[in-house]
């Protein structure tokens, strides 16, 4: 599939698909991948040991990645099958992360880079391996224990959140069960302020629920893991690993951004209050008064039944093709379904030079 979206995964420290965007094949699906040498520099000699290592890593990783993604989709979509469970999601995630946290694989990667005799493409691939393995490896046994603890807490919390009952007492209707998506939608378009406020209060309850069901313990475990590795906290660890600089540098950038845009925000709030009245700044009113009327007027032109067509046409206009693609889309709101949208590749992407059919799942 010539679908150039990168995998989006809130579960990963980095995109593990980095491994799969390497020069060698993920498996033997296409002879294009086995013409010899690097795809980036056709005919160039490469170290046979490096080629074999890259193929083995990609093949092994693909199996682990697919197992995790199957569990991610099944649990997040609340599919009615005993094949999917929080325990299996936790297990497959741990297996994948253990694979990426291998000191032996990192050592082999560095040795192959030092040996030389590589094509440009394979050298780039090994450097990607080195970066990825280096991010996942934890030399501290204490940190590894905290990571396992955090993974377990995270899985339990996600399961509890998916089964949380949500809804609101609506004027003239009594209690109406709605997901967080439904509640936010009501807040955006319903003209009755009492309805919007009821939905807002229900959404606020999610915070109390997660605090009572492990979120604080998750934060503690994550921070303890990061501190055992020498970071200020988990956020500092994530930022440093992903961006190459710590949270203090990031906050300097964000503080400057907030400072420069604050006058615009303050003036916008004053203007809205002057036009719409004192209650316009209430949290259940602001979004509706800013965009609710526009959204209601646009809805007839963008009906749900046309959503897939509009999405496809938009991506086509961006130069993203769908030739040979297989896609699973689950766009309907329902009970216990994960309420945040995502787009995942359940199978890692092939090298960009090989235009092969892939499968993508979209919620």
Q: Does 266 share its domain with 315? A: no
Number of domains in the chain: 2
Q: Is residue 219 part of a domain?
A: no
Q: Does 330 share its domain with 354? A: yes
Q: Which long-range contacts (CB under 8 A, 24 or more apart) does 168-172 make?
A: 168/195, 168/198, 168/199, 168/201, 168/202, 169/198, 170/194, 170/195, 170/198, 171/195, 171/198
Q: Which domain holds residue 56?
A: 16-138+304-362
**pLDDT score recorded for residue 290:** 85
Q: Is residue 264 part of a domain?
A: yes
Q: Does 189 share its domain with 253? A: yes
Q: Is residue 222 part of a domain?
A: no
Q: Does 97 share its domain with 67? A: yes
Q: Is residue 228 part of a domain?
A: no
Q: Does 86 share its domain with 116? A: yes
Q: Does 119 share its domain with 62? A: yes
Of 301, 316, 339, at which residue does a domain stop? 301
pTM for the structure as a whole:
0.69
Q: Is residue 22 part of a domain?
A: yes
**pLDDT score recorded for residue 211:** 96
Q: Is residue 144 part of a domain?
A: no
Residues in the chain, pLDDT under 70: 1-45, 292-293, 322, 349-363
pLDDT one-digit tens code per residue, 253-295: 999 999 999 999 999 999 999 999 999 999 999 988 887 667 7
What is the rounded CA–CA span in Å between residue 187 and residue 194?
10
Q: Residue 71, Cα to own-chain centre: how many angstroms?
A: 14
Q: Does 171 share its domain with 92? A: no
Q: Does 171 share its domain with 265? A: yes
**pLDDT score recorded for residue 350:** 58
């Amino acid at each position: 599939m010539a679908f150039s979206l990168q995998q989006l995964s809130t579960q990963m420290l980095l995109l593990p698909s980095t491994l799969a965007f390497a020069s060698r094949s993920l498996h033997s699906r296409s002879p294009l991948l086995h013409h010899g040498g690097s795809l980036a520099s056709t005919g160039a000699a490469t170290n046979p040991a490096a080629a074999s290592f890259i193929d083995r890593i990609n093949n092994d990783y693909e199996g682990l990645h697919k197992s995790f993604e199957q569990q991610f989709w099944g649990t997040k979509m609340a599919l009615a099958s005993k094949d999917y469970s929080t325990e299996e999601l936790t297990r497959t995630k741990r297996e994948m992360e253990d694979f990426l946290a291998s000191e032996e694989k990192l050592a082999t990667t560095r040795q192959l880079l030092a040996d030389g005799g590589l094509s440009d493409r394979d050298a780039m691939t090994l450097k990607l391996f080195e970066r990825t393995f280096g991010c996942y490896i934890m030399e501290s046994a204490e940190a590894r224990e905290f990571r396992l603890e955090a993974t377990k807490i995270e899985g339990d919390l996600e399961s509890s959140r998916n089964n949380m009952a949500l809804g609101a007492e609506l004027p003239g209707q009594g209690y109406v069960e709605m997901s967080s998506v439904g509640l936010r939608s009501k807040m955006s378009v319903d003209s009755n302020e009492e309805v919007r406020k009821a939905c807002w209060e229900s959404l606020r309850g999610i915070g109390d629920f997660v605090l009572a069901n492990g979120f604080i313990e998750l934060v503690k475990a994550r921070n303890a893991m990061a501190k055992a590795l020498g970071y200020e906290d988990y956020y500092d660890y994530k930022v440093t690993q992903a961006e190459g600089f710590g949270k203090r540098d990031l906050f300097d950038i964000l503080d400057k951004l907030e400072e420069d845009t604050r006058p615009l925000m303050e003036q916008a709030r004053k203007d809205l209050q002057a036009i719409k009245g004192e209650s316009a700044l209430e949290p259940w009113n602001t979004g509706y008064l800013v965009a609710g009327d526009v959204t209601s007027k646009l809805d007839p032109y963008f009906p749900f039944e046309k959503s897939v067509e509009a999405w496809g046409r938009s991506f086509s206009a961006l130069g993203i093709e769908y030739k040979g693609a297989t896609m699973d889309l689950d766009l309907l709101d329902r009970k216990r379904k994960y309420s945040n949208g995502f787009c995942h590749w359940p199978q890692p992407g092939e090298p960009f030079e090989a235009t092969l059919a892939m499968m993508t799942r979209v919620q």
